[in-house]
A and B are shown apart, each in its own frame.
Chain A
Amino acid sequence: MLQTLFKFKGGLTLPHHKQESAGTPIVAAPLPEQLVIPLSQSMGSAATPVVAVGDKVLKGQLIGRAEGWISAAVHASTSGTVVALEPRPTPHPSGLSSLAVVIAPDGEDRWIERQRVDYQTLSPEAVRQCLQEAGVVGLGGAAFPSHAKIRAQHPVADLLINGAECEPYITCDDRLMRERADEIVAGIGVLRDLLEPERIKIGVEDNKPEAIAALRAAIAAAGESFTVIVMPTRYPAGSLKQLARVLTGKEIPVNKLPADLGLQSFNVATAQAIWRAIQHGEPVVRRVVTLTGNVEQPGNWEVPIGMPIRDLLALARPKDDTDGILMGGPMMGIPLPTLDAPIVKASNCLIARSPARFPAPSPEMPCIRCGACARACPQELQPYELYWWSRAKQFDKAEAYSLANCIECGCCAYVCPASIPLVQYFRFAKGEIRARDREQAAAEAARSRFEFRQFREAREKAEKAEKLAKAAAAQAEKAAAATKASAAENVPTNPEASTPANVVTTASASDLPDAQTAKQALIAAALERARAKKAGVGEGVASTTVANSTTDEAPATLETVATAAAPEGEGGA
């Protein structure tokens, strides 16, 4: 079948450096002493821990529940005991820590009970739920939760399977395609059933002939009709936007998702993980990682998620002049500030650096506006303009020059004759723009809360005023009624007409003199008692009689005083 391929502008032809690690089969890495499994391993919100320190866990047991739609669950990578639940360093350029579950393996590597998911009998929602619970995320490096991409909102015209692996050095997908093509093809079959695309295209760069042959054989064996498309090797053909461009000719604008254009793409490793999750009920607890660069024994290892990078690196035996580790490829990878960080679902490659392999860049020189960066940019941007505005912190201008379209592939910095670290400037500007947007959103939220508070205070004030007004009105009514009643008393016409309220008021009015006299009597009695108490140390009996002689309504306290005084008096007598 003839297939039209499209070209993307720019890009680079780079030395592959793939043969170093691609020659040997994938080897299972031994279990380390400790597994550090960060709870934030997908794009989106971090998982919520569901285990406590001291718990025994089995391999594949849920340890972090997905929180929200863009989030994926996290599982124990082996059986053992949870020894800590604390912030640990993450494989991130900042070296900052995030909450992680630390597991001491018991060496048995015992699986939890796994159950095959019969996805064909389930609704698409249920299958998505299964994938979220299995913690399936994009294993190409972005770690976007896969279930969120399987939505039937837009009809999918082209399902793209990304086996390009365009960055030099990395060979984990290459080895996976060579060795487990059957599982990848089965995973693509699941995706086909879920998304029902019109066409399925597997894009592989032409520097991986063995992988292409293996995939074609597996497709033939499975009797499927997927097309393996051999792409010319050109960096960054494996980036989603460039892959879509090469395979379909469509360009994905910055403010649109691939799904809006009828595209959806998955990495080959993700397709395999989906198959493992559906067919075997296995959550994502391991992945293939390439160890290469300045090491004695480059190769690919199947690594339990959470294995400390230090332990993993020791397997490949870095040479003595290694001066740093890159996670990811040499173009887009990040230098790791600490080797205590663990392998996560997004880690695809570790490259040991040495001064000979990666010489220190020459000092940054002024931009000479040669335009080499613009010719190399696969996104058709003008990096020299973006550089200028980013450097001057004029972020609005940088945005106007489509900074958001930059995929940080590093082509511009690679070709720059002035060796300006262009991508660093773009990352800086993007971070500042994101922070500014966050602050703007926070200010907006604060404003609405402040306005609501003012509204609430005004409402409370109004309610209080209304209450007071009501009380005042009631008082006035009462007073009016009293005067009316007294008027009625003066001219008694018919007693049946008098309302109960009137009766009460008249009663209280007639009681008034009595109450007053009673009160005066009480006060007099109290004074009398006080006097009697003073004098009555010797004459208790007299005081008692005085107390008794007071009105029946004498307060209990006074009575107790009186009775207390009585025995005293008796004793004295």
Chain B
Amino acid sequence: MSFLAAILVMSIGALALGLALGYAAVRFRVEGDPISDKVNAILPQTQCGQCGYPGCKPYAEAIVKGEAEINLCPPGGDEGVRKLADLLGRDYKPLSGDEGGEKPKLTAVVREAECIGCTLCIQACPVDAIIGAAKQMHTVAASLCTGCELCLKPCPVECIDLVPVPETLANWKWAHPVIPLFSAPPRAESDPPSPSRKAA
């Protein structure tokens, strides 16, 4: 009799838990793929396609599926690869095809006198950062440009340049402190940058 009771109790328990799990699976279903969203958040969203995928999200999905390496994103830089390696528990790899080191952040500039207004670059821009109309001069909204280089190729008159983002008061940063090297005798002429120390 106790044998039957045990089976009964276990079956009721299994049924109840099964129902609860089944309900939770429907009720708390997560839309989309949370991991690929996390990967996508690390990617720089230039949508440049340098990884071989049409945009950052497809690349993120490919990484999560294990179809793509994590070191294919030049705009994300070395730090991006490290973050992806951390997130996914994969080994760090140096950025592929990037022997020249990281590029500075670039922004596209249309040489407006040469623009013929063909709208090809507008169609190529993945973030709608180029403004213009047919047979009208085009220009790049610098604050929206991600420097993805996708507009360079379609331009029939090659009037688009990529220029480094200029340093302004808004984006200037303090440099990493360096330990100045002194040549012997250690009597430096110039005052190295130092915290404002006061003579006692």
Q: Which residues of A contact B (CB under 8 A)?
A: 14-15, 17, 40, 90, 92-94, 96, 98, 168, 323-324, 326, 329-333, 335, 353, 356-361, 363-364, 393, 410, 413-414, 421-425, 427-428, 430-432, 434-435, 438-439, 442-447, 449-450, 452-453
Asked if B173 and A40 sit within 8 Å, CB to CB, the answer is no
Asked if A421 and B177 sit within 8 Å, CB to CB, the answer is yes
**A residues near B179, Cβ cutoff 8 Å:** 363-364
Given contact pairs A92-B169, A96-B169, A449-B128, A358 touches B174 in the complex (Cβ within 8 A):
no
Find B195's partner among A90, A92, A423, A450 (CB 8 Å cutoff).
A423
Asked if A447 and B56 sit within 8 Å, CB to CB, the answer is yes
* B25 interface hit (Cβ, 8 Å): no
**B residues near A359, Cβ cutoff 8 Å:** 197, 199
How many contacting A-B pairs (Cβ < 8 A)? 122
* B36 interface hit (Cβ, 8 Å): no
CB distance from B145 to the nearest CB of A (A): 9
A168 to B174, CA, bound (A): 25
Given contact pairs A363-B179, A363-B180, A364-B179, A94 touches B199 in the complex (Cβ within 8 A):
no
Asked if A450 and B173 sit within 8 Å, CB to CB, the answer is no
Q: Which residues of B contact A (CB under 8 A)?
A: 40, 43-47, 55-56, 126-129, 144, 146, 167-169, 171-177, 179-180, 182, 186, 188, 191-200
CB distance from B105 to the nearest CB of A (A): 8
CB distance from B149 to the nearest CB of A (A): 14
A353 to B55, CA, bound (A): 55
**B residues near A452, Cβ cutoff 8 Å:** 128
A442 to B107, CA, bound (A): 13
**A residues near B169, Cβ cutoff 8 Å:** 40, 90, 92, 94, 96, 98
Asked if B198 and A427 sit within 8 Å, CB to CB, the answer is no
Asked if B195 and A435 sit within 8 Å, CB to CB, the answer is no
CB distance from A306 to the nearest CB of B (A): 17
Find A435's partner among B55, B56, B173 (CB 8 Å cutoff).
B173
Asked if B45 and A356 sit within 8 Å, CB to CB, the answer is no
CB distance from B81 to the nearest CB of A (A): 15
Asked if A358 and B197 sit within 8 Å, CB to CB, the answer is yes
**B residues near A14, Cβ cutoff 8 Å:** 198
4 new A-B contacts at CB < 8 Å, known A15-B200, A446-B46: A168-B198, A358-B197, A358-B198, A449-B127
A98 to B179, CA, bound (A): 30
A356 to B191, CA, bound (A): 13
A135 to B162, CA, bound (A): 39
Asked if B196 and A330 sit within 8 Å, CB to CB, the answer is yes
**A residues near B176, Cβ cutoff 8 Å:** 393, 425, 428
A422 to B177, CA, bound (A): 9
A94 to B182, CA, bound (A): 24
Find B198's partner among A96, A324, A330 (CB 8 Å cutoff).
A330
A357 to B197, CA, bound (A): 10
A375 to B74, CA, bound (A): 44
A425 to B129, CA, bound (A): 36
Given contact pairs A94-B167, A438-B171, A450-B126, A414 touches B44 in the complex (Cβ within 8 A):
no
**B residues near A428, Cβ cutoff 8 Å:** 173-177
A445 to B129, CA, bound (A): 11
Asked if A414 and B197 sit within 8 Å, CB to CB, the answer is yes
Asked if A414 and B191 sit within 8 Å, CB to CB, the answer is no
18 examples of A-B residue contacts, CB within 8 angstroms: A92-B169, A93-B174, A94-B167, A94-B169, A98-B168, A329-B196, A330-B196, A332-B196, A335-B193, A414-B198, A421-B194, A421-B195, A424-B194, A428-B175, A447-B40, A447-B56, A449-B129, A450-B127
Specify the chain B residue showing the minimal Cβ separation from A414. B197
**B residues near A363, Cβ cutoff 8 Å:** 179-180, 182, 186
A330 to B199, CA, bound (A): 9
**A residues near B167, Cβ cutoff 8 Å:** 94, 96
Asked if B194 and A360 sit within 8 Å, CB to CB, the answer is yes
**B residues near A439, Cβ cutoff 8 Å:** 44
A324 to B191, CA, bound (A): 9
**A residues near B171, Cβ cutoff 8 Å:** 435, 438
Specify the chain A residue showing the minimal Cβ separation from B146. A446
Find A424's partner among B172, B180, B193, B198 (CB 8 Å cutoff).
B193
Specify the chain A residue showing the minimal Cβ separation from B199. A357
A410 to B197, CA, bound (A): 8
CB distance from A129 to the nearest CB of B (A): 26
Specify the chain A residue showing the minimal Cβ separation from B167. A96
CB distance from A382 to the nearest CB of B (A): 18
A507 to B142, CA, bound (A): 61
Given contact pairs A96-B172, A363-B180, A323 touches B191 in the complex (Cβ within 8 A):
yes
Given contact pairs A360-B188, A446-B127, A434 touches B197 in the complex (Cβ within 8 A):
no
Given contact pairs A15-B200, A330-B198, A444-B45, A425 touches B127 in the complex (Cβ within 8 A):
no
CB distance from A332 to the nearest CB of B (A): 7
Specify the chain B residue showing the minimal Cβ separation from A431. B173
**A residues near B43, Cβ cutoff 8 Å:** 443
Asked if A434 and B193 sit within 8 Å, CB to CB, the answer is no
Given contact pairs A96-B169, A360-B188, A424 touches B197 in the complex (Cβ within 8 A):
no
A122 to B115, CA, bound (A): 54
A332 to B47, CA, bound (A): 42
A90 to B176, CA, bound (A): 22
Specify the chain A residue showing the minimal Cβ separation from B105. A439
Given contact pairs A96-B169, A98-B169, A446 touches B193 in the complex (Cβ within 8 A):
no
Find B199's partner among A332, A358, A410, A430 (CB 8 Å cutoff).
A358
A417 to B45, CA, bound (A): 46
**A residues near B193, Cβ cutoff 8 Å:** 335, 421, 424
**B residues near A332, Cβ cutoff 8 Å:** 196
Most buried by A among B55, B146, B177, B182: B177
**B residues near A410, Cβ cutoff 8 Å:** 195-196
